[in-house]
Amino acid sequence: MHLAKQADWGVMTGRLPDLDDGHVQAWLDLVEERTGVVILPERKAFLMTGLKARMLDIGLDDYDSYYRLLSRDQAWSQEWSQLIDRLTVHETSFFRHAPSLQLLTQTILPGFVDRNTDVSRGFQVWSLGCATGEEPYTLAMVTQQYFDELGDGRRYGITATDISQPSLQTARLGIYGERRMRGVSKSLREKFCIELGDGQVQMADALRRRICFAQLNALHVDSFPLRNVDLIYCQNMLIYFPRFRRLQIIETLVTRLTPGGVLVLGPGDLPSWAHPEFTRVRFEGTLAYQRQAAVMASA
């Protein structure tokens, strides 16, 4: 390993040559094998930028050392989280996909309430590929609002996972700038957010304590100990994976749903999937599957 002196870093990465195509392919294969994320060879420049930036962060000045360290896996799983943070897009926003949220309030939550007359049974949600937290906080606001209007004291809990530690740190803090808050209505903002001043807003404790953020590589969903989930919300993450991996992940995920539970994907995340135990939920503009054992009203 070559550790660079801090003063040399700017010069160092400037001097680092780009990898040749053979080495690029080895890196792309390693990234795909460990994280499932596919980067096309045409996006070599994007890979190079991510690798160089990360090597600069940790003071490494040759690709081979970095490759060897990442290949060792266990000790470097934290490093994978940092590198993948550079190699994936974390674009997200509050209330990102309106039809899926309408599906939640018009079909999924009413169905859950009908199936569970015992009000002590909490609504369990898993937000997968939650990025910087806007998605799970949106689900929390919508669910809390729904239960408040229902008025029978029902509770919910959200587990929100992502591979990227930097994203999860932001999510846990729950502090967002004015621009990112644009999707949140005035009334929800007044109810669920704390104005910190200087254009910063924090999600209220009442929401934050309902969400547990955890690091999880989607390739390892089988080892994640979450069961009996009522809603799995997984949008804009599977697009990074080849189809066979998307199917592998989905097939495992759906086993974590309770009967009547629903998997909500992004509309383009998995064009066709069918399973004898699952029914496609017909709700315009959405892609969702319900585990059988309950009848879901269609819109």
Ligand X SMILES: C[S@@+](CC[C@H](N)C(=O)[O-])C[C@H]1O[C@@H](n2cnc3c(N)ncnc32)[C@H](O)[C@@H]1O
Residues of this chain that interact with ligand X (CB under 6 A) are: 35-37, 84, 88-92, 96, 129-131, 135, 162-164, 167, 217-219, 235-237, 240
On the 0-12 / 13-18 / 19+ scale of CB atoms within 10 A, 3 is exposed
Query: Which of 64, 74, 25 minimizes the C-alpha distance to 220?
Result: 74
Kindly give the residue spans of alpha helices, DSSP state H, lying in 76-157.
77-87, 98-103, 109-115, 134-150
Rank residues 239 and 294 by Cβ distance to ligand X and give the closer one.
Answer: 239
Q: Are 238 and 38 in contact (CB under 8 A)?
A: no
Residue (37 or 47) nearer to ligand X, CB: 37
Based on CB atoms, which residue is closest to ligand X, 129 or 261? 129
Question: Cβ 30 to ligand X, closest distance in Å?
Answer: 13
Minimum gap (Å) between residue 215 Cβ and ligand X: 8
CB of 175 to ligand X, least distance (A): 17
Nearer to ligand X, 135 or 230 (CB): 135
Q: Using alpha carbons only, give the angle 77, 82, 83 rounded to the nearest 5 degrees.
A: 95
Task: Find the shortest distance in angstroms from Cβ 199 to ligand X.
Answer: 22
- What lies within 8 Å, CB to CB, of 285 at 6+ separation is 98, 99, 100, 267
Helix, strand, or coil (residue 175): strand
What is the number of the residue whose Cβ is closest to ligand X?
A: 92
Cβ proximity to ligand X: between 159 and 164 the closer is 164
* For ligand X, the closer CB: 31 or 296: 31
**Through-space distance between the first and last CA atoms of the chain, rounded to whole angstroms:** 59
Burial of 99 (0-12, 13-18, 19+ CB in 10 A): middle
CB of 218 to ligand X, least distance (A): 3
Cβ neighbours for 204, distance < 8 A, ≥ 6 positions apart: 192, 193, 194
Residue 135 CB, nearest approach to ligand X (Å): 4
